C-alpha cells in the first residue's frame, strides 16, 4: 500500500507514537501548573484552594500534580520557592567592608521579602500554621532564596577571616534574618507601617550594627 502511495506522489504518514511527553511539553506543563497554582493560592489562600481546582484550571489531572509535587503542601512550597528564586532588582555588592557587604545583602533580602507576593505568601503560611503545620515547617526551610544563601555565605566568610566569631553558623544566619525581616514583615501585613527604601536601609543598618556588636572579637 505504501509503495502504491509513493508511486502516486503521496508520502506515507508515520504512525503517531504515544508514551511520555517531550521534555519541552513537560516543562511547559510544569510552568502552567505553577502559574495556575500561584494565582489561586495568592487569591484564595492555602486552605480554600484545592488540587482539583488547580488541575481543572491548568487543564491537567490531579494525579499529574501529585506525581510532580507529592501533595498540596509540596505544590505550595514549589510556588513559594519559584517566587523567592526570581532575581531581585537590587544588586548585592561584593566590595566594601564586611559590615557594608552585610548591610547590602541584608537590605536585598528585606526588600525582596516586602514585595507584595512574598508578603502574601508569608501571611498565608502564618495564618495556616496551626491547621497545616507541615506547610509552616517546609516553608521555613525553603532553599531557593538567593539572599538567604548569600547571607549565610557572607557570615561564613566573616567567621573564617576573623571579622566575627559565631559558634553556630546556621543559628547566626537565622538570628540576623529574623532581626532584619520579622518586624517589617509584620508591620506590612498588619498595615501598621509602610517602609520606603530609606526606612528599609535605616532599619537594616541598625539591625546589622546590633548583630555585629554581639559577635565581633572583643
pLDDT confidence of residue 164: 93
pLDDT confidence of residue 133: 77
The Cα 66–Cα 116 span in angstroms is: 28
Torsion from C-alpha of 33, 37, 38, 40, nearest 10 degrees: 140
pLDDT confidence of residue 77: 87
Count of CB atoms within 10 A of residue 95's CB? 7
Asked if residue 208 lies in contact with residue 106, where contact means CB atoms within 8 angstroms, the answer is: yes
Low-confidence ranges of the chain (pLDDT < 50): 1-3, 5-8, 14-18, 144
The Cα 47–Cα 69 span in angstroms is: 17
Distant-in-sequence, close-in-space partners of 214: CB < 8 Å, separation ≥ 6: none
Among the listed residues 187, 183, 186, 180, the one whose alpha carbon sits nearest the alpha carbon of residue 201:
180
pLDDT confidence of residue 6: 46
Asked if residue 134 lies in contact with residue 73, where contact means CB atoms within 8 angstroms, the answer is: yes
pLDDT confidence of residue 87: 64
The Cα 58–Cα 11 span in angstroms is: 37
pTM of the model: 0.74
pLDDT confidence of residue 14: 47
Amino acid at each position: 500500500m505504501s509503495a502504491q502511495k509513493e508511486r502516486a506522489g503521496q508520502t506515507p504518514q508515520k504512525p503517531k507514537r504515544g508514551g511520555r511527553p517531550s521534555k519541552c511539553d513537560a516543562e511547559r506543563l510544569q510552568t502552567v501548573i505553577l502559574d495556575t497554582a500561584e494565582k489561586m493560592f495568592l487569591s484564595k489562600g492555602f486552605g480554600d484552594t484545592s488540587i482539583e481546582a488547580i488541575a481543572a484550571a491548568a487543564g491537567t489531572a490531579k494525579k499529574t500534580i501529585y506525581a510532580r509535587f507529592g501533595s498540596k503542601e509540596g505544590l505550595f512550597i514549589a510556588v513559594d520557592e519559584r517566587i523567592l528564586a526570581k532575581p531581585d532588582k537590587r544588586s548585592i555588592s561584593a566590595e566594601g567592608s564586611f559590615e557594608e557587604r552585610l548591610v547590602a545583602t541584608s537590605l536585598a533580602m528585606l526588600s525582596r521579602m516586602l514585595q507584595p507576593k512574598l508578603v502574601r505568601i508569608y501571611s498565608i503560611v502564618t495564618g495556616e500554621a496551626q491547621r497545616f503545620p507541615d506547610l509552616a515547617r517546609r516553608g521555613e526551610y525553603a532553599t531557593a532564596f538567593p539572599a538567604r544563601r548569600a547571607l549565610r555565605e557572607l557570615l561564613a566568610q566573616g567567621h573564617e577571616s576573623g571579622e566575627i566569631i559565631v559558634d553556630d553558623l546556621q543559628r547566626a544566619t537565622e538570628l540576623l534574618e529574623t532581626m532584619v525581616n520579622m518586624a517589617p514583615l509584620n508591620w506590612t501585613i498588619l498595615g501598621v507601617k509602610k517602609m520606603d527604601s530609606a526606612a528599609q536601609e535605616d532599619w537594616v543598618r541598625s539591625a546589622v550594627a546590633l548583630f555585629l556588636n554581639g559577635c565581633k572579637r572583643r
